[in-house]
Amino acid sequence: MAPGTSPTPSAPADSASPNPPREVVNDPARTGFDPQMKWWMNYFRILSGQVTPEGLFHYREWRYKVHEERDCKRCDEYRDWLFTYSPVVRFLSGKIQDLNGKLDASNVLCRRCPARLEEDGQVHRQSGGFSPNHGILICANEIRDRKHLEDTLAHEMVHAWDHLRWKVDWMGDKDLKHAACTELRD
């Protein structure tokens, strides 16, 4: 490689993949939502119909950032309660321990998960996720109540159990079959 050049990934010549939709950024003139205004002014603009659906999306994400600490604290409290008292979570936790796995506050983390709004209007959000290398992520800003967290945590714990019991191939040749199986069983 010549000095001063950097490696770039090259796509096969015969692949003509369309560009994925781009993420939309807020423009107050277009959406009616202005993060420089007080929250209640934006709220009344929403109530009076002066904010577009896109502006409403950006307002919601802005409020999630403002309340991130509160949401994560509430999620941590719910998580700890569930590991102590929830029959479903305790059962799954025991089954994971039987396979020499461990899930607890050190690897079940509550964080804010930003949603994505794409140009085509699709919104992508999630309540949680499982990573074999990191554990379980719970999206604190998406959790409505303790029951919702229990359902989300149980769903992700099934993925953890599948990973330990069946050695799920998350990224290899069989990843789609494995992922489909673990989602269907849930």
Provide the annotated active-site residues.
156
How many other CB atoms sit within 10 Å of the CB of residue 71? 19
Gap between the Cα atoms of 110 and 140, Å rounded: 5
Question: Which helix H or strand E contains 137, and what residues bound it?
Answer: strand 135-139
Taking the C-alpha atoms of residue 69 and residue 122, their distance in angstroms, rounded to an integer, is: 27
The DSSP output letter for 142 is G
Extract the tokens encoding 31.
Answer: 């959406």
Please report, to the nearest 10 degrees, the dihedral formed by the alpha carbons of residues 12, 168, 109, 85 taken in order: 160
| Residue 18 Cα to chain centre, angstroms | 25
Give the Cα-Cα-Cα angle 60, 183, 73 (nearest 5 degrees): 40
